[in-house]
Amino acid sequence: MAAKPCDIFVSYAREDIDVASRLAELLEAKGYSVWWDFRLVAGTTYRDEIAGRIDHADKVLVIWSTRSIKSPFVIDEASRALQQEKLVPISVHDAQPPLGFGQLHTLFVSELDRDIDRIVAALRGEGSTKAPSRRHRFRLKRLFIPLGIVAVVVVAAAIFIDAYRLDYFINCVKYGCDLDYVTYRSRVIGLEFAYPRRHLMLDTMHESQQRLPLLNHKGEVEVTIFRSAMPSHRDPRRGSAEEQQALGQDGYVLNYVGPQVEPETKNFYILSGLRKDGKTFYFRRWYTGRDVVSAEYVYPPESIPLYDKVIVDMTIRSMRIRNPGE
């Protein structure tokens, strides 16, 4: 089903949801129709819906912040809008736009309620209707530093500070460049991991429920990473035994149980094998002392060579587990 047209699409990082929500309220009060991803309809394919909304929007308003400039999804959305010449960037907390977006005029916003008329003017392609504040006049004065010094600073910052680009190069060295690995860091769930963006799309709509599904390009969930309550026995070996029994009763065929070396000293277990539908499954569960972190993979036989690499990269080489909120 084609997406319905709307005036404004708002692109933002999940951590800036309060800013996006208030901005949407202010724009709607000005008569604009606003769409942001909390309006996703249950059952829709997340990335396809986002792409359709961007394509049908008149303008795409991206909120650059210290979080969004590091978000591959916000950068992807902004890039799509930039290609369609409909991107209008604003910055909160003096965040500088990431590489590739410096050619556009970015509106620096300190207070949404006070600056909403300037934002509306930018959406209309007009100059600001209000004189700049003392803070902004001071920023303009600083721009007259000799151009040579400014160029050096900008280049240095672009190379050494841009975390998104730095992640890209690090991941390319660690995991190879073919699958375009990107690192996702979630303070909400307390996890950090790399995943192959060329094959999997991360759905963050369930992050507040401590759950992160990753979908293939057909919109099917092939990986789920989540946290769940600690069993009362608090014993990974007992948890493994109980799950093996439950899987066997459901018709699963186990072909690997781990760890096989000194399992009594480990805080995790692994179960792998075949489901009744012929798909391969691989479950890895870490007992953290307060809860259980799980990475579940379910994929078709033709993807076995791919996941032989991806599972190692995601669960062993890149997974970092912290307490939620850290």
Domains recognised in the chain with CATH numbers: 6-130 (3.40.50.10140), 178-321 (3.40.1000.10)
Calculate mean pLDDT across residues 281-310: 96
* Largest separation between any pair of C-alpha atoms in the chain: 73
Report the percentage of the chain scoring pLDDT > 70: 83
Judged by DSSP in three states, 276 sits in coil
pLDDT for 2 equals 45
pLDDT for 254 equals 96
> Average pLDDT, whole number, for the chain?
85
C-alpha pair distances (Å), 255 with each of 38, 172, 273, 275: 41, 32, 5, 11
Length of the chain: 326
Count of C-beta atoms within a 10 Å radius of residue 308:
10
pLDDT for 217 equals 87
Burial 66-99 (b: 16+ CB within 10 A, else e): ebbbbbbbbbbbbebbbeeebbbbbbbeebbbbe
Phi, psi of 196 (to 5 degrees): -80, 100
Confidence of residue 10 (pLDDT cuts 50, 70, 90): very high
pLDDT for 101 equals 83
The answer to whether 86 and 58 have CB atoms below 8 angstroms apart is yes
pLDDT for 305 equals 94
pLDDT for 151 equals 61
pLDDT for 46 equals 62
DSSP character at residue 302:
G
CA angle 261, 266, 268 (to 5 degrees): 110
For residue 150, pLDDT over 50 is answered with yes
Residue 5 has which token pair?
């047209």
